[in-house]
Amino acid sequence: MAKILCVLYDDPKSGHPKSYARDDIPEIKGYPGGQTAPTPEGLSFNPGELLGSVSGKLGLEKYLADAGHELVVTSDKNGPDSRFVKELADADVVISQPFWPAYLTPERFAMAPKLKLAVTAGIGSDHVDLQSAIDRNVTVCEVTYSNSISVAEHVVMMILALVRNYIPSYKQVIDGGWNIADCVQRAYDVEKMHVGTVAAGRIGWAVLKRMHPFDVHLHYTDRHRLPLEQEKELGLTFHESAEDLVKVCDVVTINCPLHPETENLFNKELISKMKKGAYIVNTARGKICDTQAIADALESGQLAGYAGDVWFPQPAPKDHPWRSMPYHSMTPHTSGSTLSAQARYAAGTREILECWFAGKPIRDEYLIVHDGKLAGAGAHSYSEGDATGGSS
């Protein structure tokens, strides 16, 4: 019997839903590039249900109980007296989501001598100290591609919301007003703007494809340059560095993983090299941006707007500067946790567990760390080292 410690976000304030806005969701069987959607041996939930909160339990409860395993689910993850920390000592598997990350720091790895598997239900494993996982031979997995398109859609929505000044216009309606000048004094067209992505992997490429019909100039930078035919398909301009890219872009969207080389990449110096009045959209990781540098740039006018749904730490404290800075369109970390995405990353989590318990190989595209080294998707996207320092 194994003990699975699962950290999920809290249920809705009104309680776990008894009904839903829609009766079904479209079935996704595969992704661009040929990767298939998760293929577990079975499911114990109906796609479209709320699975990412505590009562949803990622749809794992019946499956794990029938197999004789112990499942502990909690949202209490912060601080030395949290239930997460208290349950770590005899946990064999830890599961959490990027939206409510259970930070596995070196100190917490030391508290978990039995830990053998850390699963990210979703995409992004930077909340796990990958170097500690390597040193302790802990396998780290994530459900690659399960919510990439969900995030890409969120990016496009935020670009339009910022440039078109949507939120102040919406507030006019809510507040009973009708001052059109107040709404449009910061509103522009996206057409013919220069839009660039830092990283053109699954999410970055999907953003570029979705922005192409808006008749914009598209740019990207990435440690792995795209094939020439892909660049030609969308008319992309490649830049060797983020510094080169930001100098020419009106909108910059951040879609790279968090690792030591990208931590605080968007600092005061880099932001000062951007076009005055540019916009940043960050759905990657909060720590890729220097918190105070972003707030200061909005106050000074160097940036015209900042949007994103990633913060550091998560959940963000009530006094986080990004809550009160001007011209922002921040959301909680929701971009990759739609009910549609939850069905896929819950199914992928079960697929990983089925393979793990059966001693079968886990898909290479799901592996981040395995056999004491970066592996699979992790070897392509991450660097060894700690990018979660200070999470406590």
How far from 163 is each of 227, 250, 273, CA to CA, in Å?
Answer: 30, 10, 20
Q: Spot the catalytic one: 202, 333, 363, 370.
A: 333
Which listed residue (219, 314, 328, 350) is catalytic? 314
Helix (H) or strand (E) holding 307: strand 303-308
285 catalytic per annotation: yes
CA-based nearest residue to 105, from 90, 88, 121, 93: 88
Q: 148-163 and 166-174 are packed helices; what angle lies between their axes, rounded to 10 degrees?
A: 80
Catalytic residue at 333? yes
Of 194, 285, 344, 350, the active-site residue reads: 285
**Alpha helices (H) in the chain, listed in sequence order:** 61-66, 83-87, 106-110, 130-135, 148-163, 166-174, 180-184, 202-211, 228-234, 242-246, 268-272, 291-300, 321-324, 339-358, 376-381
**Environment class of 360 (CB within 10 Å of its CB; exposed 0-12, middle 13-18, buried 19+):** exposed
- The tokens describing 33, both together, are 């590039």
With H, G, I as helix, E, B as strand and everything else as coil, classify residue 76.
Answer: coil
Q: What does 152-166 look like in DSSP terms, one character per residue?
A: HHHHHHHHHHHHTTH
233 CB-near residues (< 8 Å, 6+ apart) = none
Counting Cα atoms < 13 Å in the Cβ hemisphere of 162 gives 29
Residue 30 φ/ψ, nearest 5 degrees: -160, 170
The CA distance from 205 to 25, in Å, is: 24
Length of the chain equals: 392
Dist. CA 2–CA 22, nearest whole Å: 36
- Active-site residue among 108, 127, 147, 255? 147
Q: Three-state SS for 279?
A: strand
Distance of alpha carbon 257 from alpha carbon 250, whole angstroms: 22
Active site residues: 147, 285, 314, 333
